[in-house]
Structure 1
Amino acid sequence: MADAPLRADAKDNRARLIAAARRAVTRSGDLRLNAIAKEAGVGQGTLYRHFPNRESLLLEVYRADVDELCALAPALLRDHLPVEALRLWFDRLADYANVKHGVFNVIEAASRSDLIAGSHGPIDEAIEVLLAAGRADGSLRADVDARDVVLLVGYLTRLDDAEREARAGHLLAVVLDGLRAR
């Protein structure tokens, strides 16, 4: 039997909980559920109705970020040339990596492989949409595929908090320069 659709207020509560958890995990990696509920403006009972434990909340934060990141690729291509779209997507990728880093700091190691397996396909597809547009207009190299880009930007999750702001944008610019057609 399928779950009943959520009422509008329940959807709003769920979205606010996910947003509050996302902010918390990027701030410190220390995720206190009572603080999340308070920041979201709901009671603990509401939080636990939507997310029975911390891991389920974090998994949803991660899934929401993956969905947003993947939906952004074709949206950017509607308004920007491929290289600019890829640069803007890289900016969002840096935010995503920060969330991923925070989530991984909190989630059990056993859950990590499931989480990674569920996101790589959609992210690879989003990257390929951007690369294909750049290959088609001649602005991006023809010899690079989505896996190459994933491997190149994998460092984002390994930047520590002290260097993330200073290095992420610069390193993504270096990667983007390397992807440009010569």
Structure 2
Amino acid sequence: MSKALKLGIKLLIITAVSALVLAFTNSITEPIIKEADQEKLNESLKVAFPEANNFEEVKGNFPASIVGVYKADGDKGYVFDIISKGGYGGDIEFILGVDSDNKITGFSPLKHSESAGFGLQMEEDWFKEGVKGVSMDNKVGASQSGSENEIVGISGATLSTTSIVNGINTAREVLESIK
């Protein structure tokens, strides 16, 4: 037997054993990872809709920016996982809760790369509170003081605010289609 053939057989055996070990490890860890991911998601959903205890995923043909839709405790409302394009630092992913009266119950940013001086303010309580209670009966906008159909905008962070408003309005369209 040639030296190259022996080496090839040894590499085949090592590769096969490695693949089996990885497959076994994956079969053990996969359920644990899924459970941890589900717990993390439920915690995020509760931030956006604190009055709900259970969330059921709603299936549908949603726009690409809607990562997930979850029904809160039967008919209490919905929670949307949204990735909105157009932020200053790129896409902004956030969770948005909406009650049965179409009022926003909570906002929680998940992932973004917004600037520390301006766009990062979306993580501050004053901004989150300025989103709560906004009605999604009509198209949502933004202003300095907020109103029934306007969130409180972030001064100096027009792109971040616009991205969030666009995501909210996409969720509004989806809300109309699933109610």
Verify same fold: TM over 0.5: no
Q: Which has the larger radius of gyration?
A: 2
Query: Which has a greater percent of strand?
Result: 2
Query: Which has a greater percent of helix?
Result: 1
TM-score normalised by structure 1 residue count: 0.25
TM-score normalised by structure 2 residue count: 0.25
